[in-house]
């Protein structure tokens, strides 16, 4: 029997982290594999093995260009994997890494990336304990791709998930948004825009640990807003928790260079990818203490409380503009495309 | 951020909003058309409807170049992408516009060489770097973007580039405004005139709206303060019983326009006898064609394009929305069959289309 496929063909938008990605994952990838752990679709899956609870996560890195201001594919792969574990309430322990190398990749670049991975792993306190290496023909990959697997120890003080989120909870954002996405966009050199902006790629573990040590019981949910940006992460939460989220536009930290690039290109910083930030939903009584704890960690000075959880409008994120107006903040649709006029 | 924050200052905005409230006649329902899609986008993005009195209705005009492009023209452009040894280039706005057999992005996913560019000059550079291929630039836009296309064609000729052509879909805004004013189901009290188009054309071409149709026109910028001030200036004219062309966007728009840009347009383009606008139908002398002297750069001359007219899906009411007769959510397809991800009507494609702006910033997203 021939049934119509759910997706006619893969488009770039399926990888952009927005609505199309969600349809690909929930429509095509998950159903044939269905099991209880997978259904949660969280950043990391929790497994209990002979009484021990561990968090596991997998991640793929195909960034182009391989090296950019503030980081490179090697450090990004470590940070991305570590961050998925950290925002799932786990202490990252070890990583595995698979390298897909394209024939023709210079040895110098590969060595630099292995150094970057090693340095990032040491800085994060994790070990890269294994992996695999494959080589494909020239033209079949953009230099190199990295695929990782991460294991973490669950922090038993935390109970995270959309089911823990309540109206009145506050939304914490760890720092200025959009740095990574705009850096990569500019690094591709197609825009003839220049800026000294750098990717925010870093591990969020120190911030999460500082917050957990003062307020573990009040942390309801965390996420690192990578592809699709803050808007997509919060829309997913609003949908899963069946709440509204109201953001205060003015309190959302965005660097001027990112704002400027977004204004010129017609993009919304809330849709731009980050690689070193996290969002946390906090009980109102511990929100201020948690914020101060994050701010006290070097690099956390830009953290802010940017909004709160509401009962209405259900499954929707809105922001209050500076003039008392409101607007809906939707998930990312397609790849962010610039406008012409 | 300089040159932006000043025009988003909450205190100044509240002052203008207060002045607007003082100026309106509470017993009259105002219908003010913002011509440009950039205005529409800004109005929704900044939540400006919430701070205007209820009896001012902003009607979204035809000034979104992607939205008014008929599907048949999209098919024509995409037929070039299907030719061997050809690279089709287009602005980002075009990449998700559906033709009958898919969008440019879908053609690209199938293996056609379709590339997004930020300027027609980028397309010309691609042609120079790929001499064994033909590079076609899918040109869209009003007077805002047409001069850059004209200059690119002039440069291609000056540099003797042979493997480059332009599929020209440039349109001019005035005939569309006239068509709307002549439409029997239309009632517009005044216009927020297009800011970017006017940087090229200046303010004079709008004088017929004031003189012949007796409607105020205020050329306005795109920041919240610009738009509110533009609306206030329209209201003041209405209250005084006046109909004039005024320029709120003086920091960018010269009253007499940009002479060099207008000369480039006149050098390269001529008016088509008529052109189809999506939702508005055929409008005479409303679009630009490449002059015969530059025929070697005209994709319509170099390629055999299908040139088939494709009617819009019957249920889509783009025409009514485009003319301001319906608001976006009043269309039967809005938000269910037609979404930014799967646009049926073109108003849902470009971020400057009224439906996309409304869906993105106002309507509660409909969950798939």
Confidence (pLDDT) at B367 = 39
Residue B110: its chain A contacts at CB < 8 A? 9
DSSP SS3 for A63: coil
Partner-chain contact B109 A331, CB within 8 Å: no
Query: Rounded to whole angstroms, how far apart are CA atoms A28 and A31?
Result: 6
Beta strands at B56-63 and B217-219: parallel, antiparallel or unpaired: unpaired
Query: Sign of torsion, CA A119 A124 A130 A131?
Result: negative
pLDDT in tens, chain B (368 residues): 777 888 888 899 999 999 999 999 999 999 999 999 899 989 988 889 888 999 999 998 888 888 889 999 999 999 999 899 999 999 988 888 889 998 998 999 899 999 999 899 999 999 999 999 999 999 999 999 999 999 999 999 999 999 999 999 999 999 999 988 998 877 899 999 999 999 999 999 999 999 999 999 999 999 999 999 999 999 999 999 999 999 999 999 999 999 999 999 999 999 999 999 988 889 999 999 999 999 999 999 999 999 988 887 778 888 888 777 888 999 999 988 888 888 887 788 787 889 988 888 887 544 33
Topology agreement, domain A51-154 and domain A162-328:
no
Structure tokens at B91: 């602005």
Query: Rounded to whole angstroms, how far apart are CA atoms A72 and A198?
Result: 11
Residue A260: its chain B contacts at CB < 8 A? 1
Confidence (pLDDT) at B366 = 42
Nearest CB partner across the interface for B109, out of A9, A260, A328: A9
The A52-61 sheet, strands edge to edge: A45-49, A52-61, A144-154, A90-102, A127-136
Q: How close is the nearest chain B Cα to the Cα of A233, in Å?
A: 15
Nearest CB partner across the interface for B368, out of A23, A192, A325: A23
Cβ of residue B137 closer than 8 Å to a chain A Cβ: no
Using CA coordinates, name the residue in chain B closest to A312: B364
Of the candidates A147, A186, A202, the residue with the CA atom closest to the CA atom of residue A65: A186
Beta carbons of B218 and B191 less than 8 angstroms apart = yes
Mean pLDDT value across residues A307-319:
95
Q: How far is CA A10 from the centre of its chain?
A: 22
Query: Rounded to whole angstroms, how far apart are CA atoms B293 and B298?
Result: 10
Topology agreement, domain B5-61+191-247 and domain B71-172+257-302:
yes
DSSP B144-196: TTHHHHHHHHHHHHHTT--SEEEEEEEB-HHHHHHHHHH-TT---SEEEE-HH
Partner-chain contact A327 B196, CB within 8 Å: no
CA angle A170, A174, A180 (to 5 degrees): 135
Q: How close is the nearest chain B Cα to the Cα of A65, in Å?
A: 18
Partner-chain contact A191 B118, CB within 8 Å: yes
Residue A337: its chain B contacts at CB < 8 A? 92-93, 95-96, 116
DSSP SS3 for A202: coil
Confidence (pLDDT) at A324 = 79
The domain locations on chain B are 5-61+191-247, 71-172+257-302, 318-360
Nearest CB partner across the interface for A20, out of B118, B140, B341: B341
pTM (predicted TM-score): 0.87
Please state which CATH class domain B71-172+257-302 belongs to: alpha beta
CATH number belonging to domain A162-328? 3.90.650.10
Confidence (pLDDT) at A337 = 59
Partner-chain contact A341 B105, CB within 8 Å: no
A217, pLDDT greater than 50:
yes
Mean pLDDT value across residues A113-118:
98
Mean pLDDT value across residues A116-143:
96
Give the contacts of A184 (CB within 8 A, at least 6 positions apart).
A63, A64, A65, A68, A199, A273
Beta strands at B86-90 and B134-141: parallel, antiparallel or unpaired: parallel
The domain locations on chain A are 51-154, 162-328
A191, pLDDT greater than 80:
no
Residue A173's alpha-carbon distances to A273, A279, B70, B193, in angstroms, are 14, 5, 44, 40
Helices (H) and strands (E) in chain A, counts: 9, 14
Please state which CATH class domain B5-61+191-247 belongs to: alpha beta
Partner-chain contact B360 A330, CB within 8 Å: yes
Confidence (pLDDT) at A129 = 97
Residues comprising chain A, all counted: 341
Partner-chain contact B1 A260, CB within 8 Å: yes
The ipTM assigned to this model is 0.80
Residue A327: its chain B contacts at CB < 8 A? 44-47, 361-362
Residue B47: its chain A contacts at CB < 8 A? 321, 323-327
Under an 8 Å CB criterion, which residues of A touch B? 9-13, 19-20, 23, 190-192, 235, 239, 256, 259-260, 263, 266, 313, 315-316, 321-328, 330-331, 333-334, 337-341
Nearest CB partner across the interface for A334, out of B17, B145, B341: B341
CATH for A51-154, options being 3.40.50.1820, 3.40.50.700, 3.30.70.20, 3.30.1330.10: 3.30.1330.10
């Amino acid at each position: 029997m021939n049934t119509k496929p759910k997706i006619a063909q893969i488009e770039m938008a399926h990888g952009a982290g927005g609505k199309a990605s969600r349809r690909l994952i929930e429509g095509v990838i998950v159903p044939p594999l269905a099991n209880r752990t997978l259904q949660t679709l969280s950043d990391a899956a929790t497994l209990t093995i002979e009484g021990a609870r561990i968090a596991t996560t997998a991640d793929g890195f195909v960034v182009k260009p391989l090296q950019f201001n503030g980081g490179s594919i090697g450090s990004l792969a470590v940070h991305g994997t570590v961050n998925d574990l950290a925002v799932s309430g786990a202490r990252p322990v070890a990583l595995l890494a698979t390298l897909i190398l394209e024939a023709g990749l210079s040895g110098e670049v590969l060595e630099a990336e292995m150094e970057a991975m090693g340095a990032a792993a040491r800085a994060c306190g994790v070990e890269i304990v294994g992996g695999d290496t494959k080589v494909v023909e020239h033209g079949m990959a953009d230099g190199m791709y990295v695929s990782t697997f991460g294991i973490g120890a669950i922090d038993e003080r935390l109970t995270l998930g959309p089911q823990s989120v309540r109206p009145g909870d506050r939304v914490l954002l760890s720092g200025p948004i959009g740095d990574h996405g705009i850096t990569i966009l500019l690094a591709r050199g197609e825009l003839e825009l220049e800026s000294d902006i750098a990717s925010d790629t870093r591990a969020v573990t120190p911030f999460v640990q500082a917050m957990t040590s003062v307020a573990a019981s009040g942390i309801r949910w965390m996420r690192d807003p990578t592809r699709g940006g803050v808007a997509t992460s919060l829309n997913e939460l609003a949908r899963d928790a069946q709440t509204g989220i109201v953001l205060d536009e003015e309190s959302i930290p965005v660097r001027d260079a990112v704002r400027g690039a977004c204004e010129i290109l017609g993009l919304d910083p809330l849709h731009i990818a980050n690689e070193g930030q996290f969002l946390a939903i906090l009980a109102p009584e511990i929100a201020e203490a948690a914020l101060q704890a994050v701010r006290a960690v070097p690099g956390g000075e830009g953290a802010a409380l940017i909004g709160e959880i509401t009962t209405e409008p259900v499954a929707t994120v809105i922001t209050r503009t500076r003039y008392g107006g409101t607007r809906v903040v939707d998930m990312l649709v397609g790849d962010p495309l610039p406008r012409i006029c | 951020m300089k040159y932006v924050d000043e025009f988003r200052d909450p205190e100044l905005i509240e002052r203008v909003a207060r002045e607007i409230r003082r100026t309106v006649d509470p017993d009259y329902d105002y219908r003010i058309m913002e011509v440009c899609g950039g205005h529409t986008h800004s109005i929704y993005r900044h939540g400006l409807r919430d701070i205007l009195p209820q009896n001012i209705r902003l009607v979204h005009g035809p000034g979104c170049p992607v939205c008014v492009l008929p599907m048949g023209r999209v098919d024509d452009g995409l037929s070039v992408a299907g030719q061997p040894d050809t690279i089709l280039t287009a602005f980002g706005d075009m990449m998700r516009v559906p033709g009958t057999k898919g969008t440019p992005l879908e053609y690209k996913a199938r293996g056609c060489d379709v590339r997004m560019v930020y300027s027609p000059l980028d397309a010309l550079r691609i042609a120079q770097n790929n001499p064994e291929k033909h590079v076609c630039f899918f040109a869209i836009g009003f007077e805002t973007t047409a001069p850059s296309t004209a200059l690119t064609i002039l440069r291609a000729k000056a540099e003797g580039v042979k493997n480059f052509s332009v599929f020209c879909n440039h349109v001019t805004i005035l005939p569309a405004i006239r068509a709307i004013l002549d439409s029997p189901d239309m009632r517009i009290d005044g216009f927020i005139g297009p800011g970017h188009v006017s940087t090229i054309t200046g303010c004079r071409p709008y004088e017929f709206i004031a003189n012949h149709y007796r409607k105020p026109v205020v050329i306005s910028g795109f920041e919240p303060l610009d738009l509110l001030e533009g609306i206030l200036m329209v209201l003041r004219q209405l209250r005084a019983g006046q109909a004039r062309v005024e320029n709120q966007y003086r920091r960018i728009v010269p009253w007499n326009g940009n002479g060099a840009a207008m000369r480039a347009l006149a050098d390269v383009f001529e008016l088509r006898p008529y052109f189809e606008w999506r939702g508005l139908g055929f409008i005479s002398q409303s679009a630009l064609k490449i002059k015969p002297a530059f025929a070697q750069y005209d994709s319509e001359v170099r390629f055999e394009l299908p040139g088939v007219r494709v009617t819009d899906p019957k249920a889509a009411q783009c025409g009514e929305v485009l003319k301001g007769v319906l608001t976006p959510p009043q269309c039967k397809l809005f938000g269910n069959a037609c979404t930014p991800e799967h646009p049926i009507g073109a108003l849902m494609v470009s971020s400057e289309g009224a439906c996309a702006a409304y869906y993105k910033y106002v309507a509660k997203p409909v969950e798939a």
